[in-house]
Amino acid sequence: VQRNPLQREFHQAVTEVFESLWPFIAEHPRYAQQGLLERLVEPERIIIFRISWVDDAGQVQVNRGYRVQHSMAIGPYKGGLRFHPSVNLSVLKFLAFEQTFKNALTTLPMGGAKGGADFDPKGKSHGEIMRFCQAFATELFRHVGADTDVPAGDIGVGAREIGFLAGYLKKLTNRADCVLTGKPLHLGGSLIRPEATGYGTVYFAEEMLNQAKKSLQGMKVAVSGSGNVAQYAIEKAMALGAEVVTCSDSGGTVYDPDGFTAEKLALLMKIKNQDYGRVKDYAEQVGAQYLEGQRPWQIPVEVALPCATQNELDETDAKALIGNGVVCVAEGANMPCTQAAVHAFEAAEVLYAPGKASNAGGVATSGLEMSQNAARLAWPRQEVDRRLLEIMRGIHAACVQYGRQPDGRISYQHGANIAGFVKVADAMLAQGIV
């Protein structure tokens, strides 16, 4: 705390991982040697830079950009870029730390990183977004490379922004190699990458339910968010027979007791991805209830998929969900549940999956995009989806292996933390003190 003052989210993420690790390390003391734990919480490199750009009114705007390169122990730095006014060093350090374990869980050779800027894309014109991305790329290009650091999208950075960044990186470097994932298809992107985080989250929820002799078929599901992860979580949950009754954004929640249909989801995607509109507009158009300023967690459901942002589900929300009979919570977002919420779920024996396990399908498919780019070929949709499902099942199995408690119950929280840690820690120990 003294070394990283005021970094609340970073402390939260580290505490949550170490709560799982202490008993394991007590049984395996070699992991307490060589300053391993101290090294693991210190990012290998942090770059902070100025981004100056000119808005449509001719005014100069200044933002702060970051790239936190947390760990290269098992592969090139890998992790998304976030453009949101709440971005600061604490948020990006927590995300880069989590990313390191998540990437290890995929079993693909990727280190951990995260980056972004305190830029607010809301209300900006297409031209302003492009100029901002170009100004961001002007510094980013010095630090990325196919074998060094391969960023991707995150909140506020979707296919449009990745396209602008990729175009400018090519211009600056005179190279066409894969320095970003989540690229549009015609720039070397992978089929299924846009769907992967949402699909993977639902695959993971289904694996947990199957393990408990249940399934999503016929279950009521609450999804939060309405961006990339939420949209494809809704699609896959419907495909597996669930009824999705909510979505949200930072303005409020849509509650539709009749549930999503393919037509309604297509409308939500159009409003969010083409018109850059709000879920309030969507609620009006489909005649669903709009709960201004509220989150979806008071609505009775059996499955909750938080897919918006960190700390969007607190202890009160968790208790409301538990009271309403929730059986499964799988995080599509990164750290959406507060620590108190997680403790409440675990105490109530709700199946709970931390994001580093359940949302790892996005970065896993980014890893598959890197493989396709390196081989200069493109796999068909079914092939990528098959590999995604296989990877999610592998992560589930690793959580079960490391998360089995003395009473036979599985803590996915402990399982994911320990399984990710073991892979990174073994690689670090093998490489000496660096």
Report the residue number, 31 or 100, with the smaller CB distance to ligand NDP.
100
Residue 107, marked binder: no
Task: Report, in Å, the least distance between residue 292 CB and ligand NDP.
Answer: 13
Q: Which is nearer to ligand NDP, 230 or 419 (CB)?
A: 230
Q: Among positive and negative, which fits the CA dihedral 385, 112, 356, 155?
A: negative
Please choose, from the candidates 356, 359, 346, the residue with its C-alpha nearest in 3D space to the C-alpha of residue 318.
346
C-beta of 181: minimal distance to ligand NDP in Å? 9
Catalytic residue among 114, 220, 236, 423: 114
- Exposed, middle or buried by CB within 10 Å (0-12, 13-18, 19+), for 199? buried
Distance of alpha carbon 197 from alpha carbon 364, whole angstroms: 9
**In angstroms, rounded to a whole number, what is the distance separating the alpha carbons of residues 56 and 41?**
41
Residues in the chain: 434
**Closer of 328 and 333 to ligand NDP (Cβ):** 333
User: What distance in Å separates the CA atoms of residue 229 and residue 224, rounded to the nearest whole number?
Assistant: 10
Distance (Å, whole) CA 73 – CA 66:
21
- CB nearer to ligand NDP: pick between 115 and 227: 227
Residue 324 counted as an annotated binding residue: no
Q: Which residues bind ligand NDP (CB under 6 A)?
A: 86, 153-156, 158, 197, 225-230, 249-251, 307-309, 312, 332-334, 359, 362
114 included as an active-site residue: yes
Please check if 34 is assigned to a binding site.
Answer: no
Q: How far is the CB of 379 from ligand NDP (least distance, A)?
A: 18
Dihedral sign from CA coordinates of 19, 397, 329, 113: positive
In the complex with ligand NDP, the residue whose CB is nearer, 26 or 185, is 185
To 10 degrees, the CA torsion angle through 110, 114, 120, 123? Answer: 0
- Given the structure tokens 């399908």, which residue do they identify? 361
181 is in an annotated binding site: no
The answer on whether 213 is annotated among ligand-binding residues is: no
Residue 346's Cβ-count burial label (10 Å; 0-12, 13-18, 19+) is middle
How many other β-carbons are positioned within 10 Å of the β-carbon of residue 213?
A: 6
Is 125 annotated to bind a ligand? Reply is no
Q: How far is the CB of 426 from ligand NDP (least distance, A)?
A: 24
Q: What minimum distance in Å lies between the beta carbon of 312 and ligand NDP?
A: 6
CB 207 within 8 A of CB 393: yes
> 102: annotated binding-site residue?
yes
| Min CB(360)–ligand NDP separation in Å | 7
CB closer to ligand NDP, 31 vs 115: 115
CA distances from 255 to 159, 235, 289, 294, 308 (A): 28, 17, 5, 10, 16
Q: Cite the annotated binding site by residue number.
A: 78, 99, 102, 153, 197, 228, 366
The residues assigned a catalytic role are 114
Q: Which residues does the annotation place in the binding site for NAD(+)? A: 197, 228
